[in-house]
Structure 1
Amino acid sequence: MAPQITHVGAGMMTRLRIVPLALGLALGSQLGLVPLVLVIVSASLIPLGVGVPAVIGSIAMCRWFADLHRGVAGSLLGREVARPYRPIRREDNWLARFRIAGADPATWRDLCWLVANLVVGLVTNLLVVSLLLAGLFYVTLPVWWRWLPPGSDVGSVGAFRAQTEADTLWLALLGLGIWIFWIWVTPRLMWLNAIVTAGLLGPTEIEVANAQLTTRVTQLSESRAVSVDTHAAELRRIERDLHDGAQARLVALGMSLGMAEETVDDNPEAAKQLLAEARESTTSALAELRNLVRGIHPPVLADRGLEGALQALALASPAKVTVAIDVPGRPPEPVESAVYFAIAEALTNVAKYSGADNVWLRLSYTDGKLVAVVGDDGRGGASVEPGGGLHGLERRLAAFDGTLLVTSPLGGPTVVFLEVPCALTPA
């Protein structure tokens, strides 16, 4: 498979621009001797005590030098070459820094790279320059050979003697062949140099896996914290609604029934009025309980699924909502509920703040993710701020590893993207 280098294109001018870079890399490969020698000398001074800070300083120089080459290799390969070093905190003392740097495998790979780059970096990059100059020398030979004194040696080592014009033409064809070879081999030589640099200076597969695992654990810890906070807030909301709503109604119902019981013999009319009030309290309590249940898990989701529930939301919206749903199955109930409430909150925000005439809702399933888009042609200016409604949506979706993205320039349109990974079951 041919190497693909984004920095090296197919044109002659692009390759010519690589020549100064190759010359600089060839020089840099030999400059790597400086930090390498400093590390060796500093290590030999460790028994004297001054070696510990000297080693740390020389390793820091190695890492700075390696960072420069990581950047060049990354630009040539078209991908970032990450720094694989273990973190060193500022509050760590000299001994702790020495221990961390010495136990870091990336430190030893840096030293191996300095040695390997002395050969690979010099050879590959000098070949790029020397092949170009050799081709230039032989291609231009027919132009300037006439000005040489008769019998003079042509070339730095006198390998060829241009006695006739025909000889110089053959050498010009040789130079043309060298140029063609240079055009073909330049990206491959640069790729070889870059791949050696990336292989030794970049993180290993184990280090990448550990970093990904650490990142994933952090994400799960944050997601769990958000889920716990959201669950606690939901419980507080349910408790508050029960205390302030249904519970108060039931207390009033009990009082009305008690008073009716006391007055039924002496004042039947008053007892009837109290019973009528009790019946109204019962109706109000039932309505509040139904609303509370809908806030926990809307019955429309259980009856009609997410598609039917979203259609009902669209019909209930004061703005004209265009709905397009393409989901070949049904997501898990917790995800279904979270997405439903998130879209309901988004549509509520549109009705309250956007002043939009037209709203669109798209729901699809792509690459294992449930994707919802809610947009409007309103005034725009929406943003995710702590304590706001959109921030609440973000926290709700984060419990399921979901994400929320809002684009809302002033003047509109506003588009809210919701994305939740999940598996579907047949509808």
Structure 2
Amino acid sequence: MSGTKSVAKRVVVGSATTAGRGLVLGLTAIVGSITLFVLSVVSIALILIGIGVFTTPYVLTAVRMHANRRRLLAATWSDVKIPIPYRPMPADLRTGVTGQVERTTLMLKDPATWRDLGWLMVDMTAGATVALLSMGLFVYPLEGLVLAAGLWRVFEDDAYWYGFVPVDSQLTGLFAAAFGAGMFAVGLRYANDIQRGYFLLARAMLAPDHDQQLAQRVAHLTETRHDA
């Protein structure tokens, strides 16, 4: 009996954890990625009138922090390693307006900057959908249970569609509960794989290809020798 309770507890805790992670990923993809993408586009456009020279480094730094947070969660939650490919800023970078111009130029010349912006577009659309799906597989079944428990009576006069089940009686309410249970079972089996797919999608957008990684290592080696 205690063994059954222990298994049930692990299932509940594991499901809640996966659903919570899906919610976090989905919300930050929608809110964070959309906000940062809009700010980036506006800031880069404002370079033409000079304002963007001062705002772009800060906005792109925020984008990199957002992407690095995804890299950390990818490694921690799904064991997906995403390299950090950003070119280091020179130690002797000047201050003032000249320094801001140089900083903006260097960041815009970094291929990783444009990969980040491309990832933001994917993250706020396909990424958010995948992340929220991993949560919905655990949350949506609860509605089926509530319908079977008696909520179906509210929809006696006009059937309420739960998935592909029109709910307007106790029998159809039970069908809704069965459909929800099946969805929950799918979540237990595949939700973690779906979240891993989310991070693999992020890696496909954020990670440099082999030639770029090689060029980055050569540039880093050259800079190290120059400093020495």
Query: Do both share a fold (TM > 0.5)?
Result: yes
- Mark the CA change 1:218 to 1:42 in structure 2 (over 3 Å): closer, same or farther: closer
The amino acid of 1:101's aligned partner reads M
Partner of 2:52: 51
Q: How does 1:164-203 map to 2 (within 5 A)?
A: 165-203=170-208
Counterpart residue type for residue 196 of structure 2: W
Counterpart CA distance in 2 for 1:174 and 1:158 is: 9
Q: How does 1:157-236 map to 2 (within 5 A)?
A: 160-163=166-169, 165-210=170-215
SS in 2 for 1:160: strand
Q: Which residue of 2 aligns with 1:382?
A: none
Structure 2: distance between partners of 1:107 and 1:79: 21
1:78 alignment counterpart:
79
Q: How well do the aligned residues superpose, as a CA RMSD in angstroms?
A: 3.0
Give the residue type in structure 2 aligned to 1:96.
Answer: E
Cα 1:77–1:45 shift into 2, 3 Å = same
Please name the residue that 1:95 is paired with: 101
Rg larger in structure:
1
Q: Report the alpha carbon displacement of residue 118 of structure 1 after superposing the two structures with TM.
A: 1.1
Aligned ranges 1:18-417 → 2 under 5 Å: 18-31=18-31, 32-92=33-93, 93-145=99-151, 148=154, 151=157, 153-154=159-160, 160-163=166-169, 165-210=170-215
Q: Which runs of 5+ in 2 are unaligned?
A: 1-9, 94-98
Q: Larger % of strand: which?
A: 1
Q: Give the secondary structure class of the aligned counterpart of 2:166.
A: coil
Task: Please give the per-residue CA displacement for 1:78-104, whole angstroms capped at 9, x wherever unaligned.
Answer: 154231000013531222212211111
8 Å contact kept, 1:70–1:201: no
For residues 86 and 215 of structure 1, what CA distance do their matches in structure 2 show? 8
Shift of 1:123: 0.7
Q: Deviations over 1:152-202 (max 9, x none)?
A: 644579962332x33333222222211112222312220111011122223
- Structure 1: runs of 5 or more not aligned: 1-9, 222-427
68 and 146 in structure 1: CA distance in 2 versus 1, 3 angstrom threshold: closer
| Higher normalized contact order (CA 8 Å, seq sep 6+, divided by chain length) | 2
Distance 2:183 2:163 in 1: 18
2:35 and 2:198 mapped to 1: Cα distance? Answer: 20
* 1:120-167, Cα deviation, whole Å (9 max, x unpaired): 22111221222322222223433234764854644579962332x333
2:4 counterpart residue number: none
Identity %: 20
Q: Output the TM-score relative to the length of structure 2.
A: 0.78
TM-score by length of 1: 0.44
